[in-house]
Amino acid sequence: MTTANLTGKTLFITGASRGIGLAIALRAARDGARIAIAAKTAEPHPKLPGTVYTAAAEIEAAGGKALPLVVDIQDENQVAAAVAQTVETFGGIDILVNNASAISLTPTLQTPMKRYDLMHRINTRGTFVCSQACLPHLFKADNPHILNISPPLNMEARWFAPHVAYTMAKYGMSMCVLGMAEEFREQGVAVNALWPRTAIATAAVRNLLGGDETIRRCRKPEIMADAAYAILTQPSRACTGNFFIDEDVLRSAGVTDFTPYAVDASAELLPDFFI
């Protein structure tokens, strides 16, 4: 059983100026949802597409209402101000998507502490801060959801050894799911994680994992957006504490053909981390 759609819902999405965050926003916008875009990029970046303002224009064109918010989620005061502006503009918050993330796939001796701190401040701490700021408003929502773009807690050494700092930071997001789902179960706030089975065609993958050839072996961000939509339209009291995989969610929803999600249907798909 799902709720009808996301019409009239307000989503606060971190890192929604590009990639998976923007794709989730655009899927919700097709229902006429209201989306607060909480991201750092105010000016065009030489290596990364999109700003909060270009994202807002895309969301409006797709049928939604957009509130571009230049916010660094490392700063709890900026997060609090962004949440307050969202509530003032749209009247509340129904859904939080913790999508913003920093990545450095480096082994221990090659990970500068500045980079270690950045990953933990954005991934784990940022997720906690945004959840903490949004929860008082989610308690008032009819079908409140928090969705973290983070992996299942697969405690195998092979996922830690090559990049222990990054794994710890991403698993911190997933530990928020594990704890908060139970902590807020009685209040009816769903807290879930979503992770892709394959690599997703984003700027981070292009820049860090091998350029255009790697992108050929990826799926498009829309698979994560469609899976997120399927989760966020579930009744929150009946759908919490899960570590979802995009492909599994969509199979459960009746999808059998995944070729439209492939960047290149002839290329062998590249599995993602942590699965």
Distance CA(191)–CA(174), nearest Å, equals 10
For residue 105, give the amino acid letter.
Answer: L
DSSP 7: T
Active site residue 229: no
Apex CA 129: angle with CA 182 and CA 191, to 5°? 30
Dihedral sign, Cα of residue 37, residue 229, residue 177, residue 207: negative
- Choose, from 53, 116, 166, 261, the residue flagged as catalytic: 166
CB count within 10 Å of CB 93 equals 24
At 171, which helix (H) or strand (E)?
helix 164-183
Give 176-196 as a DSSP string: HHHHHHHHTTTTT-EEEEEE-
Q: Left if phi > 0, otherwise alpha if psi is -120 to 50, otherwise beta: which for 166?
A: alpha
Separation of alpha carbons 272 and 23, rounded Å: 18
Dihedral over alpha carbons 72, 76, 78, 84 (to 10 degrees): 130
Q: How many angstroms separate the CA atoms of 94 and 4, rounded?
A: 15
Positions marked active-site: 166
